[in-house]
Structure 1
Amino acid sequence: MGKTPLYAGFAGIITTIIASWLAKGHGINFRKAIEALIEGAKGTLQVGVACAAIGIIIGVVSMTGLGSVMAYNIINISGGILWVILLLVMITCIVLSMGLPSTALYIVVAVTAAPALVEAGVHPVAAHFFVFWFGVLSNITPPVALASYTAAGIAGADAMRTGWTAFSFSITRIYHPLHDCL
C-alpha cells in the first residue's frame, strides 16, 4: 500500500483505542489514553538513550572501518581456520558486549564481529546468531555479568560465584551455535 512504518504504528494505536470501546468496561477514555502515553514515553527513554549511544558507536565503526579491520585481523590471526575464527569472534563478542542490554550488544557485535564470520564463509544468518549468542553470554560472564550479579542480589548469594556458576551452566550449550556455523 506504500504506507510508512510510522503510519502503521499510528493506525495500530487508533485501531486499539476503537476496539477497546467495543468491550464493556475496558474502553480507553481520554484519561487512560494520557496515562498510556506517559507510560509509553517513560518506556521509550531507556531505549532512546541506548539507541543514541549505539548510533555513536556505529558511526565510529563505519567512519573508521573498524569492522573491516577486525574481520581482516581475525582472519589473518586465525590463518583462515574456521574453528579458530569462531573462537576469536566468541571472545571478541563477550568482551565488546559486557554491560550492554541485548539490543545494544547485538548492534555492536553485528557491525564489528559478524563481518569476520561472513568473510570466512559462514552463512550471514548463522553468523549473526553466533555473535548474538556470545554477546548475550556476556551478561552472565564475570567480571561484568550484570544478569548474574542481579540474580545474586535477589537471592542473597555471592555475586562472583553466581556469575561463574551461570557461566558454567551456559557454556555447555556452546556446542549448538558452533555446530550450526560449521
Structure 2
Amino acid sequence: MANEVAERYAQGLFELARETDTIREKKEQAALILKALAENPELSVFLRAVKVTKDEKKNLIASVFADAADTDTINLIKLLIDKGRIGYFREIFQEYVRLADDELGIATAVVESARALKAEDIERIRLALVKKTGREIIMTTKINPELIAGIKVTVGNNVTDITMKTKIDSMKEALLKGGQA
C-alpha cells in the first residue's frame, strides 16, 4: 500500500488524466517510467543525490523521458524535485498504475507453478479469472520449483494456493499438533 504522500500525488495525476481522458496513456507512461527506474538504478541515485542541483535533475528528467512521457507527467516529476519529494517517485507511479487499472477494470494476476505451463493452460486460467473477477486480466507467470506441483494464483490481495507444497505443509502442521492429516 502506498503511503499518504504517494497516494496524494498519484491521485492528483489520476484526476488530471480523468479530466483529459488520458488515463490509459498516462498508465503506459507510468509503466515506462517504472521500467526505466528498475533497469537504471543509477537514475534513482542521481535524483536523490544532494550534490546535484534541482535544475540538473529537472534537465535530466526532461531529456530522459521526453519521448516516454507527456508534459503533465514530466512536470509532475519536476514538481517532486522542487518539493523535495523525489524519494516518492517510484511509489507515486506504482499507485497511479493501481488507480488506473482499477478505473479501467484491469486486474493483474501472478500465476506460480513448479514447471512451465502450456499456453492453453495459461489461457484457461486467464479466462477463469476474467469470469471470476469480471475484469480484464494481465497475467504474469513465474516458475517456482519449491511448489513441487500445482499452481498458486495471486490477484491483488486474493491468493488461491493449490500447490503440493501447501498441502504438505498443512499435513506437517496437523501432524505436529497431534491432529489428523
Determine which structure has the larger strand proportion and give its number: 2
Instruction: Give me the TM-score of the superposition, normalised by structure 2.
Output: 0.30
Task: Between the two structures, name the one with larger relative contact order (CA 8 Å, sep ≥ 6).
Answer: 2
Instruction: Give me the TM-score of the superposition, normalised by structure 1.
Output: 0.30
Determine which structure has the larger helix proportion and give its number: 1
